Structure 1
Amino acid sequence: MYPLSGSTSASSAAQGEGEPPGRLPVIDRALVLVAGLVVVAVGFVGMTVGLFGWDAGSTLSWWVAQDPNRGRVLVSAVGAALAVIGAAALRPAVRSAGRDRTIVRSTSLGEVHISVRAIQTLARRAASQVQGIREAEVQVTPSSVGDVNVRVILTVAPDEPIPELCDQVQSRIDQYLRQTAGVSCGQIRLVVRGISRDGHRSRSE
């Protein structure tokens, strides 16, 4: 991976549009996978007890009695499993709440609120319009310097000059957000995740 970063600025008024649902981030997929495995394991044990009459309580008591430390290990494992399930349930809600935040613009007629989600859609659209970009995943967060910080994960076409390509993406995102939404960028950070193996150009709308 080739991380590159830069910063730019701008100002004024705006409007936005919604964002189609995308793939879950890696950490969310991992949490959901582990939580699913835990639930499946618990369900399998419950099914075994019900179908075959296994006395789980007696077996568990005997197993713990062999070594008192086993009880602490068991409680710790159950607690960890419940923590993972809780994290898997809460994290998407927390991320969604963060994306629904807005950037406020004051005009002579009142306030204009631009959602972070709409800005994210615009930034992804701008990045995907640069020739040589195959895929662009965008994360937008409010910034203390400009209006927003933008992080873009890119997949680029083969044989493209990556530094020049990243300069174009940063410049395009900065200009596009200023022109379409009046939003300034405190920082635009790019991460080149991979090189596309096919010749098909993919654009995220």
Structure 2
Amino acid sequence: MRPLVPSSPRRDEGEVPARLPLTDRVLVLVSGLVVMAAGFASLGMGLFGWDVPAALSRWMSERAVQGRVVGAAAGAALALLGAAALRPAFVRLGYERSIVRATGLGEVHVSLRAIQTLARRAAAQVQGIRDVEVDVYPAGGGDVSVRVAVMVAPDHSIPELCDEVQARIEQYLRQTAGVSCSQIRVLVRGVAREPHRPRSE
């Protein structure tokens, strides 16, 4: 196995797109729909003379109790939505999910996203490996568990490729991030197609 030399980072290599949590995505979606509906109502009032408040007031007065219940429920829902939308402004920012190493001068936090990028880069350096996807999970004690899904090139020994992927990831993470792997699972998703080469006459 060739010695592993950390390569210089590239902006477009191994970047992991950030994802909002599901609850925040739902909150953004609902807030956007409410604001959009209010915008269309205001636009209609300005351009076409819609009297939305009068229509709502008339509907509520015609239905008395039902109208008041619906109005109260809508007001409560909007109040809760506004309070939820303000929540991020009052939440103290902290570290993202990370592995913590204690040193003589304090703590060092290495994010799981950074470890994932390093592991992907190490696996991609193995000759015969294609389309690398990596997931990293904390394993306790400062270690991580790594799951690697790859495509392999034809005419390569799959067991040897998997062994080299595991060895390179373990060595690379230890050298560059000071992180040990408790487990590295490799999933071979398939065999990649080689580009078609025209036959020589």
Distance change (3 Å), C-alpha of 1:132 and 1:34: farther
CA RMSD of aligned residues (A): 4.8
Find out whether 1:179 has 2:178 as its counterpart.
Answer: no
Instruction: Tell me the residue number matched to 1:57.
Output: 53
Which of 141, 144, 151 is residue 149 of structure 1 equivalent to?
A: 144
Partner of residue 129, structure 2: 132
Q: Give the superposition deviation at 1:183.
A: 1.1
- Corresponding residue SS for 1:113: strand
Q: How does 1:37-52 map to 2 (within 5 A)?
A: 37-52=33-48
Alpha-carbon distance in structure 2 between the residues aligned to 1:34 and 1:196: 43
> Larger RCO: Structure 1 or Structure 2 (Cα < 8 Å, ≥ 6 residues apart)?
1
Letter in 1 for 2:71: G
Please give the per-residue CA displacement for 1:16-57, whole angstroms capped at 9, x wherever unaligned. Answer: x79875434485695455554444333222222222232222
In the superposition, the TM-score normalised over structure 2's length comes to 0.54
Query: In 2 relative to 1, CA 191–25 (structure 1 residues): closer, same or farther, beyond 3 Å?
Result: farther
In the alignment, the residues of structure 1 paired with residue 53 and residue 130 of structure 2 have an alpha-carbon distance, to the nearest angstrom, of: 58
Cα 1:114–1:25 shift into 2, 3 Å: closer
May I ask how many residue pairs the two structures share in their alignment? 173
The separation in 1 between residues aligned to 2:155 and 2:78, in whole angstroms, is 50
Describe the shift of the 1:150–1:179 C-alpha distance in structure 2 as closer, same or farther (beyond 3 A). Answer: same
What is the distance in 2 between the residues matched to 1:170 and 1:82? 48
Q: Percent identity?
A: 34
Stretch deviating more after TM superposition (152-161 or 71-80): 152-161
Q: Aligned ranges for residues 9-28 of structure 1 at < 5 Å?
A: 22-25=16-19
Match of 2:96 in 1: 98
Match of 1:98, SS?
Answer: coil
Report the Cα distance in structure 1 between the residues aligned to 2:18 and 2:155, rounded to whole angstroms.
28
Give 2:3's aligned residue: none
Deviation digits for residues 65-100 of structure 1 (CA, Å, limit 9, x no counterpart): 43344335534654676578568x78xx97x8405x
Shift of 1:168: 5.5
Instruction: Look up the equivalent residue of 1:149 and give its one-letter code.
Output: V
The Cα shift of 1:154 comes to 3.9
Tell me the TM-score normalized by structure 1: 0.53
- Matched residue, 1:71: 71
State the Cα distance separating 1:122 from its structure 2 match.
1.2
Structure exhibiting the larger radius of gyration computed from Cα positions: 2
Distance 1:63 1:160 in 2: 74
2:121 matched to 1:121?
no
Distance (Å, rounded) in 1 between the aligned partners of 2:57 and 2:186: 55
3-state SS in 1 of match to 2:140: coil
Question: Per the alignment, do residues 41 and 121 of structure 1 end up closer, same or farther by CA in structure 2, a change over 3 Å counting?
Answer: same
Alpha carbons of 1:52 and 1:19: their partners in 2 closer, same or farther (altered >3 Å)? same
Q: Which amino acid aligns with 2:122?
A: A
